[in-house]
Amino acid sequence: MSSLIGDGARLVDAPTGQVLEGDELVAEVLRAGERLAALPPGVLFARIGADLDGVLTYLGAFEAGRAVALLDPGLDADLLTGFVRRFRPAAVLGAPGAPAPDGYTARDGHWLRTTSDGIEPHPDLAVLLATSGSTGDPRLVRLSRRAVLSNAGAIADALGIHRGDLAPTSLPLHYSFGLSVLNSHLVRGAGVLVEPSGLLERGFWDAVSRHGATSLAGVPYHYEMLHRLRFDPRRYPSLRTLTQAGGKLRTELVAEFHDTMNAVGGRMFVMYGQTEAAPRMATLPAERLPEKLGSAGTALPGGALSVRRDDGAETTHPKIVGEIVYRGPNVMMGYAETAAQLAHGDEMGGVLGTGDLGYLDEEGFLFVTGRLKRIGKVFGNRVNLDDLEHAARATAEGIEVVAAVPAGDKVVLFAEGAGAEKCKAVSRALADRLHLHSSGFDVRPIDTVPLLASGKIDYRVLERGL
């Protein structure tokens, strides 16, 4: 059974300066795995942050062949309890202070299942991640050991990760992109700099400088911040690789960061993925970026992209828009919405209909143009626009007709017949509900929402008017 920890892999704990590498790292991971063996059998839930303990817990579980769901430590206690009730995990590691749910007991900071009703997970199952940010009921994406390992290796190939590299944990580990940064570096024998603070904190940049971090991973919102901060790579001589995924970054910024990095001999990679693909599906080689501006790149090594037309036929013919379909060893086994599904084997056969719309060019470079379903992003969080409209109508503000359209990193909601005060109240209510800043929900008054002949909302007119 191959390992996620390649020869030479190291973890650098920024807060303490401690370095774990070689046999010592392997031994620590083994110890972490042994501690988990004492827990009740079944799937583990781990609320992990970007700290050494969290990383070792994940690696310990993975290397010991123990299926583990990585959950946002900021998850509401209510949501977490709902998850626990739904999936009956063996334990919740790093449980919140709230009382343990029925059938669980709190011990050493964890919730341990006291009943024997847990499901034995499928032997291939390695990692579970929640699908992000929608207002609907979250589901777990089931990733096999093979999917995680093959994706880590393919990413390392595509980005040319090698032993001297050191990547900081700029993204949470419960987020598939953040986890893939960790996996792709360790598998190739490179290093990961474990740093709990973020891009807007002095500690982060001090750690980058002190330990000589070589790359930085971010979602579009991070690049907007770096742009705003007038990020200058000359101040960080070791930092020569930028990677961007998690949504479409506006092409002016893609070009700007490419130029900035290129000027110091560095590289900017634009990538495309989904948690459902563990997560990477495509990367745009840095040297091709200027001529392929706006593209998400070509399929990862070992994967293939095609487009499914409206009539259901698949094609790789250039410039035909349809649903993007990906094939590869990294495609998930399927979703889990119930505990019973944790025992299911592969239901996908290595084929993923992404729900994204796009086309390929003559050389197989992917251009993503939108979503089949109406999905918006608020500061990097996927939000189902139909659900959001429903939530806006459900506020106590008495709004009956509302239309939500995506607008970059926020959502604009047009509320029929609402005044400025009412709009503000709706924006705040949505912000409260989704735990995002209210500036992400731009609620505007409108006399009448435009309709199509069918009586449905004409979103195109609204989007054009933004």
* 187 burial level (CB within 10 Å; 0-12, 13-18, 19+): buried
Beta carbon nearer to other proteins, 222 or 308 = 222
**Cβ neighbour number for residue 238 with a 10 Å cutoff:** 15
Q: What are phi and psi of 357, to 5 degrees?
A: -100, 145
Closest CB 208 distance from other proteins, rounded Å: 12
Considering beta carbons, is residue 390 or 422 the nearer one to other proteins? 422
CB-neighbour burial class of residue 129 (10 A; exposed 0-12, middle 13-18, buried 19+): buried
10 Å Cβ neighbour count for 419?
Answer: 11
**Least distance to other proteins, CB of residue 227, Å:** 11
Minimum separation from the CB atom of position 439 to other proteins (A): 6
Decide whether 207 or 284 has the Cβ nearer to other proteins: 207
For residues 354 and 381, which CB has a smaller minimum distance to other proteins in the complex?
A: 381
- Sign of the torsion formed by the C-alpha atoms of 278, 279, 282 and 283: negative
Instruction: Pick between residue 256 and residue 416 the one whose CB is nearest to other proteins.
Output: 256
| Nearest distance in Å: CB 30, other proteins | 34
For residue 323, what are the contacts with CB-CB under 8 A and spacing of at least 6?
307, 308, 353, 354, 355, 356, 357, 372
Beta-bridge partners for 20: 11
For the CB of residue 231, give the shortest distance to other proteins in the complex, in Å: 7
- CA-to-CA dists, residue 118 to 339, 420, 436, angstroms: 8, 51, 34
In the bound state with other proteins, the residue whose beta carbon lies nearer, of 37 and 263, is 263
| Buried-exposed string 437-459: b where 16+ CB fall within 10 A, e elsewhere | ebebbbbeebeebeeeeeeebeb
Least Å distance, CB 225 to other proteins, is: 6
Contacting positions for other proteins (CB under 8 A): 198-202, 205, 221, 224-225, 228-232, 379, 428, 435-440
Nearer of residues 133 and 334 to other proteins, judged by Cβ: 133
Say what angle helices 145-159 and 176-187 make with each other, to 10 degrees. 70
* Torsion sign, CA atoms 445, 446, 448, 450: negative
Smallest separation (angstroms) from other proteins to the CB of 177: 16
| Distance of closest approach, residue 200 Cβ to other proteins, in angstroms | 5
Q: Round the CA-based radius of gyration of the chain to a whole number and report it.
A: 22
CB of 165 or CB of 397, closer to other proteins: 397
